[in-house]
Structure 1
Amino acid sequence: MKRTLLASILALTFTSAAHAAGEAKNIIFFLGDGMGPSTITASRIYMYGEDGSLNMDKLERTARIKTYSNDAQTTDSAPSMAAYMTGVKMNNEVISMSSDTVATNPGKDANGNLGINNCAANNGSIVPTILELAKAKGKAVGSITTTELTHATPAATFSHICNRNAQYAIAAQVVPGGASYNAALLDGVDVLMGGGRNHFLPYDASSSNGKLGRADGRNLLTELAAKGYTVASTKTEMAAAPTNKKFIGLYSSKSHLEYELDRTATPPLGEGATQPSLSEMTTKAMDILSQNSNGYFLMVEGGRIDHALHGTNAKRALTDTIAFDNAVKAALDKAKITDPTLANTLIVVTADHDHTLAFNGYGKRGNPILDINRDYKTGLPSKDADGNTYTTLVFGNGPNRPDLRTNLDSATVLADNYLQETGVRLASETHGGGDVKLFATGAGAKTFKGTLDNTKVFSLLKSAFGF
């Protein structure tokens, strides 16, 4: 009995020491694009009430992350995600390149489509990503998103380019053995999922995509299939895909995946009926990646949170945040089936930048977060200086600033397509420069604490893997 107890204590001590040194077998890195603190708070209240908790709230380790880029107080998604993935500060619009890289504008192809690489050979240098480092150590790697697969956040995990908008060039970097392939990926990224199929397919004048498609005539999906990838375009095909092969799923023909509000509508809008949820994508990716006995690195992006915030549509931003949070729970639940204490798995949840979403006072507790503000003392609608009602959530800038404010009613502001009012009138709402939150649990999570630069997160990921 005593020997068993002693052995248990020694085993626990050894495990704790190993994790302190950073020996995670698997890392799942969740990135809520644009998911600033106000978005997290509003989403929590929207779904669970003021005293409730999101799944990410329940992770025991937390930190604040500074997000500025090399040349801007307010970062673009490309350098912020690249800072997480490479540990290097770079200029806005640059993806996984050195700090001296200039964001040269991308060119247009023969069909007039933006997305051709205009990066000069002497414009900066490549810096390795955590995904490439993991691949070099024999681990499986994956990158999945609700945006186009060639969008800034996923691209920062597997490509190197001086401008995020060169999406046709970015797509070519993931095809093993093909022209412009990123050789640091060795035999290729094991799991890729998102939208934007047009960046992988040749231009077809007769297709519904119009001019969208590759002017070079390459069918990257055919090339990937020839390299052993299972190729899917629907959630049904994804579910049926074997777990012992590499996988690419592109679930939108020419854009991002649908907002969660629209994907789950009755009937769903656009291609939403055939698209998997982020939770389903996450667990499928884990099924495939976990076949590798050396472990894996998986990046999961809830990318459309950002798009809804740019459009000042808080309802879609909050529902996409909840879908992202559900994916965190799905990953936790699945990981714990074989790793109950997460002794071998690190899960990190964070954002690349803030937005200008603001939370007005002094609303009554229990008042719907998307509704007009109601006073906590009287329960009556709050009024501005001119006697008009206003919503609890507003934006610092964006397209929806009325010349003259008028009364708002609940039916109007609770509608799916309502756009919150803004302070400064701009064509599109901008990112915010504030710190974002980070949550972590599992192997190596104890190192995530305090106020950290986003580049420091890369170092902690490397340490968790023991690199």
Structure 2
Amino acid sequence: MKQSINTAVALALAAAFGGTALPAHAAGEAKNIIFFLGDGMGPVPKTAARIYKYGEAGSLTMDTLPYTARIKTYSLDAQTTDSAPSMAAYMTGVKQRNEVLSMDGNTVAQAPSKDTATNVSDAVNNCSTSNGAAVTTLLEYAIAKGKGTGAVTTARLTHATPAATYAHVCHRNAEYEIARQAVPGGAGFNTRLGNGVDVLMGGISSYWRPYDATAKRGRPDGRDLVAELKAKGYSYASDLTTFNALPTAAGTKVIALFDQALSQGHMSYEADRDPTKEPSLAEMTSKAIDILSKNSNGYVLMVEGGRIDHALHGTNAYRAVTDTVAFDDAVKAALAKVDLTNTLIVVTADHDHTMAFNGYGKKGTPILGLNVNYATGANSLDANQLPYTTLVFGGGNNRPDTRTALDSATVQGKDYLQEVVIKRGDVGSETHGGGDVQLYATGAASKTFKGTIDNTKVFTLLKSAGGL
């Protein structure tokens, strides 16, 4: 291929100075885009995961990517966003209100209600046609260009982050409505998806299956969306065996719904995952790339580490850091499979959390353990001479009326919940944080990601990079 003038100049300068240079990236140069989203993976949770796995001086795979930025995450109506408008901002370039998914700024969140016949919560979609308008998502732009598309997550496939890629709804909890928007030709189908998203992988099938009176869950409208998708040519997987058997030939379409952690409604935390029954996020990412790379026009793939957020809401640092490491392993898996001369990889988060480092910890101290003072080598103590952990949270439920002595083994266990400053009690779990999050990028057009930018600007850069 003939070099552009800018490319030739860059290579000539590199040779003159005895080094190498990446060619300049033009708009549309990224044939493929992989957008990784660590849900709730703010700077402190990510740093804690790095120390947990590799030590203070080590690096996660995402840390090694050459281009970085800081991302503003506020929503249209809140300093601290929830996942729906933040992910939707990445996917559409439009600021939205909390709870709203891939709609314009005129849309007001309107919660769904219970189906009275079956008593299924959130089954009735209360979004009126006059309540704002849908805005085009990155995956919809990609489909219009003939590219392959995919959404992969460890959360429910109808949860806010994956839903923002393929559905438009005034409230994120309308998951029965979200699911039907993904089914080509069916009632309520999002026609902007053409023949449908090629790869859909995530947790729980009840939003896609008919109502089960015994289990008291499932679709009150009686539709079997999995059967409808299979009739449209989709291959279905529900466990590791069927996942491993999925085809990867050109034209393959996949719906994979994993119910192994059904009581949680999502896929298992990495710390609890049975590797003989449930694929890892890295395995799902690899499979999605194998399928989508057969499209000669390229692809756009979204991969979410969804359960990082859930562990943080529960002030469960152990599961938060282990899920972050599993998310990073998915980034590593993708890097091993793609050609960075035509593929853009972006890794970021939708919002922060209130996790904080506490005390002056000694280097090498277990990040999940009790804080050990760097100068004395002894446990750091509070005003009542009791030890405390390095990791704490700004809010949540684990705030005892009277603190008692903690021991190292207990606080490093996977079920330990870190203490919090503000006890929220019956109000709910730990909240998101409003701080900026980090972004890492590599590959085609990646050098455009720099500085402190709005999450809506990330969409603009992604769209330009892919020529969408």
Give the TM-score range, shorter chain: over 0.9
How far apart, CA to CA, are the structure 1 residues paired with 2:75 and 2:10?
41
- Structure 2: give runs of 5+ residues left out of the alignment: 13-20
How far apart, CA to CA, are the structure 2 residues paired with 1:150 and 1:115?
13
Q: Which residue pairs with 2:17 in the alignment?
A: none
Letter in 2 for 1:430: T
How far apart, CA to CA, are the structure 1 residues paired with 2:314 and 2:68?
29
How far apart, CA to CA, are the structure 2 residues paired with 1:116 and 1:159?
16
Q: Which residue pairs with 2:404 in the alignment?
A: 406
How far apart, CA to CA, are the structure 2 residues paired with 1:126 and 1:141?
19
- What is the percent sequence identity of the aligned residues? 65
How far apart, CA to CA, are the structure 2 residues paired with 1:116 and 1:54?
43
- Asked if 2 retains the 8 angstrom alpha-carbon contact of 1:251 and 1:274, the reply is no
What TM-score results when the alignment is normalised by the length of structure 1? 0.93
Q: Over aligned residues, Cα RMSD in angstroms?
A: 2.0
How far apart, CA to CA, are the structure 2 residues paired with 1:46 and 1:433?
24
What is the count of residue pairs matched by the alignment? 449
Q: Which residue pairs with 1:78 in the alignment?
A: 84
3-state DSSP of counterpart to 1:197: coil
How far apart, CA to CA, are the structure 1 residues paired with 2:4 and 2:192?
45
Letter in 2 for 1:455: T
Of residues 233, 236, 253 in structure 2, which corresponds to 1:228? 233
How far apart, CA to CA, are the structure 2 residues paired with 1:12 and 1:184?
40
Q: Which residue pairs with 1:162 in the alignment?
A: 170
What TM-score results when the alignment is normalised by the length of structure 2? 0.93
- Structure 1: give runs of 5+ residues left out of the alignment: none
How far apart, CA to CA, are the structure 2 residues paired with 1:41 and 1:219?
43
Deviations 1:179-230 (A, max 9, x none): 0000000000000000120000001223xxx111011111001100010100
How far apart, CA to CA, are the structure 2 residues paired with 1:380 and 1:419?
23
- Asked if 2 retains the 8 angstrom alpha-carbon contact of 1:35 and 1:351, the reply is yes
Say which structure is richer in helix: 1
Deviations 1:129-158 (A, max 9, x none): 000000100100000000000000000000
3-state DSSP of counterpart to 2:336: helix
- Asked if 1 retains the 8 angstrom alpha-carbon contact of 2:154 and 2:266, the reply is yes
3-state DSSP of counterpart to 1:20: coil
3-state DSSP of counterpart to 1:42: helix
Aligned ranges 1:24-423 → 2 under 5 Å: 24-109=30-115, 110-113=117-120, 114-206=122-214, 210-244=215-249, 245-252=252-259, 254=262, 255-263=265-273, 268=274, 273-335=276-338, 339=339, 342-423=340-421
Instruction: Tell me the CA shift for residue 116 of structure 1.
Output: 2.4
3-state DSSP of counterpart to 1:74: coil
Instruction: Tell me the CA shift for residue 246 of structure 1.
Output: 0.4
How far apart, CA to CA, are the structure 1 residues paired with 2:22 and 2:144?
26
Letter in 2 for 1:103: A
3-state DSSP of counterpart to 2:459: helix
Letter in 1 for 2:466: F
- Asked if 1 retains the 8 angstrom alpha-carbon contact of 2:30 and 2:467, the reply is yes
Letter in 1 for 2:219: R
Instruction: Tell me the CA shift for residue 21 of structure 1.
Output: 2.9
How far apart, CA to CA, are the structure 2 residues paired with 1:442 and 1:187?
29
- Asked if 1 retains the 8 angstrom alpha-carbon contact of 2:113 and 2:123, the reply is yes
How far apart, CA to CA, are the structure 1 residues paired with 2:37 and 2:375?
38
Of residues 22, 27, 35 in structure 2, which corresponds to 1:21? 27
